[in-house]
Structure 1
Amino acid sequence: MRIGFSVPQFGPFADPDRSAAMCTALEALDCHSLWVGDRLLSPLTPPDGYASGGPMPVRYGTHLDPLLALGLAASVTERVRLGSSTLNALWQPPLVLARALTTLDLISRGRLEVGIGLGWMREEYQATGVPWQGRGARLEETLDVLDAVWCGDPVVHTGRLWTIPESTVLPKPLQGPRPPILLGGFTPPALERVGRRADGWLAASMPVPYLDGLWAVAAEAAERAGRDPAGLRRVFRVNPEVTTVEADPSEIHHRGTVRQICDHLRVMCGSATDEVLVDLQLTTDSPEEFLDLAAAFMAELTGP
């Protein structure tokens, strides 16, 4: 099992100096990776689709840009993998996105994990002027453009949404033929796309029967595409509500003691390439508390 943590970037952690110092400290815990999230705004009226059905956490209204925060993390670390979970890929043209991600891969000396998805908040699409309808097709062509830019020389693309004339687009990413691409999502079409096109799935901590049903969709899609499902990675995000007393077993995919939550994460991880992403930005309020809890998760997940 690989262990990752969130890059501090939301709420009280949305301070470049604080985030940089915390990224250095997290790498010193010997974790495997650090991951940024992506939010543009926090509507005052509860948005459609938010998991709890209530208002979003207030601290999502205060945030650092994910790609710039990842560049900051790259500048103060040496070893950890650096990823996005999940970057909403459709809010900018894919050629512009490819340039930014290539630069991040070079800055980080080949440590980039490209985790992208559709997002779920209509309000953010409205604010960026990107159509809500047709998101799946837009993501498919975005992946086509990323492949063309990263693997083509010269680069050329003709699609329904974007056209790139035969061009030189350099430099290429340090990782060849391209950085790993992981896709988010929790619907059958999203998992089918993971199996058909991605290197892995940006998942979440969830009840195991639900996980098994979703993963079967990705595995079957991979087989149909002539790919080996065993080669697909999985990154399980958890935003834990940590308690001092044991929680009900039905809740331990997101709530419970550190040991309960870690026990569930261990059950979910079925291979050495599976990874857990512990996001403590909604759990803690200070750098000290964040790092102490990160150390507790590391000790529990790496212990006997």
Structure 2
Amino acid sequence: MDLGLAVPQYGRFAAAGSLPAVARAAEELGFASLWAGDRLMTPLAPKDRYPGGDGSVPEAHRVFLDPFAVLSVAATATTSARLGTSALNACWYPPPVLARSLTTLDHLSGGRLVAGFGLGWSSDEYAAAGVPWKDRARRYEATLDALEAIWRDDPVAVEHELWTIAPSHIEPKPARRPPVYLAGFSEPALRRVGRRGDGWLTAALPLPALGAMWAAVRESAERAGRDPDALRMVLRSNPVVTGAGTPPRSGTVGQISAYLAAAAEAGVHEVILDLQHTATSDGHLLELAADFRARLTA
């Protein structure tokens, strides 16, 4: 199982000095990948429940840095770690703009991009971005189609009711077609992962639920004539480290590590540790990261 780390991006870690120092140290510790998320705002009276905890948006998310800028800084501080998005809200961005940002990151990092996408959960954020909440799944599929065309074709030509790309050169191309990981837990989302994703971005769920969803992804891949063994399951863990708790959401480093080890046995290929909800400083975050890595690679 590979280990990745969410780089400093939000809350107390949204600081110019934290990001390059932690990214560099994480690579030196042996973390295989570095990840950033995508939040736009924190509504005072949200229309939708946050998908975690008690349903309220974490206080730390009030300050949230742009994922493209964050990963660009991480790219300059590192040399080999993969750079992933977990996950971009793909529908917020016109496909050529999204492709340009992602391809630039891939180009400047020497081909280290992993493109992770999701539909998001907040209709307030969609409204602020000027994107309809209705029919967002259809827009999502069309966005993925357009990205594939931009990364593959030269010239590129896309004609769709949502946008038109006149026959054009869109360069540079990525060093190689980036792996595309898709998030989601609903039945349509899981089918989409199997049908067209290179991997599934999931959260730290109870293992029986995780196994059932992964089976649905694999079944969808088989129905689409794809090799299910070629897909990767990537689990994001956002634990609160306490003296005792209830893994996977909280607990000691040992308790949470035991859950993650069991998740690896259940088929997880990579874990993204996000320690920004529990660490109190850059040093503390790196101490926790080193402790988790030591336990999970022993």
1:62 pairs with 2:57: no
Q: Deviations over 1:27-55 (max 9, x none)?
A: 11111111001111112225512133453
1:264 pairs with 2:263: no
1:242 pairs with 2:241: yes
Counterpart code for 1:225: A
For the residues of structure 1 that align with 2:34 and 2:47, how far apart are their CA atoms? Answer: 28
1:198 pairs with 2:197: yes
For the residues of structure 2 that align with 1:47 and 1:288, how far apart are their CA atoms? Answer: 37
Q: Deviations over 1:81-105 (max 9, x none)?
A: 1100011111110111001111000
Matches within 5 A, 1:30-41: 30-41=30-41
Q: Deviations over 1:66-95 (max 9, x none)?
A: 011000100110111110001111111011
**SS at the partner of 2:45?**
coil
TM-score using structure 2 length: 0.96
What's the offset of the Cα at 1:272? 8.2
Residues 54 and 193 of structure 1, relative CA distance in 2, 3 Å threshold: closer
**SS at the partner of 2:34?**
strand
Mean Cα displacement is larger for which, 212-221 or 265-274?
A: 265-274
- Return 5+ residue gaps in structure 1 as ranges: none
**Aligned residue in 2 for 1:165:** 166
**Aligned residue in 2 for 1:83:** 84
What's the offset of the Cα at 1:254? 1.8
**Aligned residue in 1 for 2:16:** 16
Counterpart code for 2:19: S
What's the offset of the Cα at 1:285? 2.1
Residues 273 and 187 of structure 1, relative CA distance in 2, 3 Å threshold: closer
For the residues of structure 2 that align with 1:78 and 1:236, how far apart are their CA atoms? Answer: 24
Counterpart code for 2:41: L
Contact 1:45/1:55 (8 A) holds in 2: no
**Aligned residue in 1 for 2:292:** 297
For the residues of structure 1 that align with 2:233 and 2:116, how far apart are their CA atoms? Answer: 11
Q: Indicate the RMSD between aligned Cα atoms, in angstroms.
A: 1.4
Matches within 5 A, 1:81-230: 81-175=82-176, 178-230=177-229
For the residues of structure 2 that align with 1:272 and 1:109, how far apart are their CA atoms? Answer: 29
**Aligned residue in 2 for 1:7:** 7
Mean Cα displacement is larger for which, 264-273 or 13-22?
A: 264-273
TM-score using structure 1 length: 0.94
**SS at the partner of 2:181?**
strand
Counterpart code for 2:247: I
Q: Deviations over 1:196-242 (max 9, x none)?
A: 00100011111111112211221111011100111100110011011
Residues 54 and 150 of structure 1, relative CA distance in 2, 3 Å threshold: closer
Counterpart code for 2:168: S
Residues 23 and 8 of structure 1, relative CA distance in 2, 3 Å threshold: same
**SS at the partner of 2:17?**
helix
Contact 1:38/1:85 (8 A) holds in 2: yes
Q: Report how many aligned residue pairs link the two structures.
A: 297
What's the offset of the Cα at 1:169? 1.1
Q: Deviations over 1:106-155 (max 9, x none)?
A: 11101000001110011101111100011111110001100100001111
Counterpart code for 1:4: G
Contact 2:89/2:119 (8 A) holds in 1: yes
Contact 1:44/1:55 (8 A) holds in 2: no
